Structure 1
Amino acid sequence: MTLAAPRETRQGRFVTGDGTSLHVEQTGPADAAATLVLVHGWTQDHRTWDRVLPGLPRDVRVVRYDLRGHGLSDPARPGTATIDHLADDLAELLADRAPGGRLVLAGHSMGGMTIMALADRHPGLVADRVAGVGFVATSCCDMDRITLGLPGAAGSGAARIERRLARLLAEYRGEALPLRPAAARAGARWLVFGRRPRRQDVASVADQLLRAHPASVGGFQKAISLHDRRVALAALRTTRAVVLAGEADRLCPVRHAETIAEELPSARFVLYPGAGHMLPQERAAEVAAQLRELTGAAVR
């Protein structure tokens, strides 16, 4: 496989069954033997993978898209800011943009949860076509117990504040988050990065947050807190998988990645010392290398 960045990015729209229009970007040959689909996380968009993309094989088709309520996609319609809806969107997108060939799916944070829900809701699709799965800084359960890396009462209090803010956002009718860019950058720097992040990465994460639809963000936070897909992981036990975790991840702590790896005994587990939640930025080359290995196995 050639490891240069794809020469062309094709942008377009995909409309789901309920009429939600999603922004989609594709690189690589349309007739590739394998398609790698990159799914971003909560409050982010397809730009999550910008640093990873150049390290991916050029002869594999790569599909990135913005989840409903994020980036350039439509807001989530009332009642659809759920991980189940994200999984159904992904199934529809795969049928339209990658109807044939082998699939490798990689998800960061809520993107990983979306893949788990896909295995739960569309097991036939996963069994027939998915040759590899990458779980990047994500969780299969217990997201309602997150303490944001703070000890004792401080952690519990911070988690309560986060849930309260999410409820307020779910009822917010504005089109943009009521947050100044400087505050968004400061919050992102503390919450989702490990040691010594690049300034431009913090700025990108903050910009993606500010582009997300506020009510959708609030709705998805509730969905994340209810997320439990340990049973669904059984559908992936025979699928080649890798589980990547940041040692300093406040949102999806290491123990969450370890739980996924325990449910997938054949999965490769990789821990990155000093890294936080944003592995696609903080450890882009290493994440790309892991995905290259998955896609290489898919086309052999």
Structure 2
Amino acid sequence: MSTRQFVTRDGTRLAVETAEPVGSAAETTVVLVHGWTQDRRTWDRVVGLLPPDVRRVRYDLRGHGESAPAEPGTATIDHLADDLAEVIDAEAPSGRLVLAGHSMGGMTIMALADRHPELVRNRVNGVAFVSTACSGMDRMTLGLPGFLGNLAHRVERGLADLLTRYRGDRLPIGRIPANLAIRWLVFGRGPGNADVASVVDQFLRAHPASVGAFQNAISLHDRTAALATLRHTPSVVLAGTADRLCSPRHAQAIAAELEAGHLVLYPDAGHMLPQERAHDVAEHIAALCRFPLVTK
């Protein structure tokens, strides 16, 4: 396993980690794309469960983890898609690809299909959409009804605006309140303390102005039409029934656009399926690696 600093065409430094298979050349590369306010550690419990004969690539999105902050105007899902295309070109320039995206990472894969359709048609042989959405993120109610849902939406919009104007390097919140908020917000029933701690640590490391701008980008996200590029690609759509951010309704909307897609809902699981259902997520990604090469 090696980690290096990769610089994109617009000069943004990304932390990229690549693990090569032992003793053989990789015919398949799995690229793991994390979500909003997280980093490549999202996949810690998944990456070691993937087939040993595949190359595994994961990286920190701009504005997250060990990567550089997103410069003003670049905290968009379009820029994330272009970054993903560049990472693929640098780390896996040939062979077939299996892409797995959690939350905003799934949105990034949809934008890749929109902005780089030839890359997707020619090389992507499987996609796992994990706790994500193709549209409908403009009104975040956190699953709360009526007045509470309206209040949650207003607070979310206000926080995004405040964060985009915040000039500090780290989010201005302590670990204890962050732990309580994240445990309620993104986990389902009975999360492990180590998993919560990891998600909190990733959250606290994210760059505030970047994540505020990305939250605005998520609210505008609509890549339903782009899923046509992946319509016949083997795929799986995974969601927790207790997900407050990307509900089963969002997962069903994605699956409806994918003729070769398979929808799986996990009762009582929340948004963080790579932690809450790591073995299941890994098994579904591994199954996509075993599909024969798709001719499109």
**TM-score in terms of structure 1 length:** 0.96
**Count of residues paired in the alignment:** 292
The reply to whether residue 33 of structure 1 matches residue 65 of structure 2 is: no
Distance 1:298 1:79, change over 3 A: farther
Q: 1:178 to 1:295 in 2, by over 3 A?
A: same
2:19 corresponds to 1:20:
no
Select the residue among 37, 54, 58 that pairs with 2:52. 58
Please report how far the alpha carbon of residue 153 of structure 1 lies from its aligned counterpart in structure 2 after TM superposition: 1.2
Q: Residue 79 in 1 paired to residue 73 in 2?
A: yes
The match for 2:209 among 197, 205, 215 is 215
Q: Is the 8 A contact 2:140 2:156 kept in 1?
A: no
Residue 239 of structure 1 pairs with residue 257 of structure 2: no
SS in 2 for 1:297: coil
Confirm or deny: 8 A CA contact 1:33 1:299 kept in the other structure. no
Distance 1:133 1:252 in 2: 18
Identity of aligned residues (%): 65
Instruction: Give the secondary structure class of the aligned counterpart of 1:63.
Output: strand
Pair 1:276 & 2:275 matched: no
Structure 2 counterpart of 1:295, from 276, 289, 292: 289
- 3-state DSSP class of the match of 1:26? strand
Q: Return the alpha-carbon distance in structure 2 between the equivalents of residues 51 and 177 of structure 1.
A: 25
> Displacement, 1:145?
2.1
Report the CA distance shift for 1:71/1:210 in structure 2 as closer, same or farther (over 3 A): same
Stretches of 4+ aligned residues off by more than 6 angstroms: none
* 1:143 aligned residue: 137
CA distance in structure 1 between the aligned counterparts of 2:280 and 2:293, rounded to whole angstroms: 20
Q: Does 1:257 align with 2:251?
A: yes
Q: Say which SS state the counterpart of residue 52 (structure 1) adopts.
A: helix
Q: Is 1:155 aligned to residue 141 of structure 2?
A: no
Structure 1 SS opposite 2:134? coil
Q: 1:190 aligns with which of 184, 195, 219?
A: 184
> What is the alpha-carbon root mean square deviation over aligned residues?
1.1
C-alpha distance in structure 2 between counterparts of 1:192 and 1:241, whole Å: 24
CA shift, 1:298, in A, is 5.1
| Cα distance change on mapping 1:298 and 1:211 into 2, 3 Å | farther
Paired residues of 1:194 and 1:274 also in contact (CA < 8 A): yes
Aligned partners of 1:299 and 1:55: how far apart in 2? 22
Task: Confirm or deny: 8 A CA contact 1:102 1:298 kept in the other structure.
Answer: no
- Compute the TM-score of the two structures, normalised by the length of structure 2: 0.97
SS of equivalent residue, structure 1 residue 174: coil
Task: Find the aligned partners of 1:32 and 1:109 in 2 and give their Cα distance.
Answer: 27
Which residues of 2 match residues 125-136 of structure 1 at below 5 A?
125-136=119-130
Unaligned runs of 5+ in 2: none
Give the AA of the match of 2:57. V
Which position in structure 2 is the counterpart of 1:3?
none
Within the candidate set 3, 15, 20, 1:11 is matched to 3
Q: Give, in whole Å, the separation in 1 of the partners of 2:157 and 2:17.
A: 32
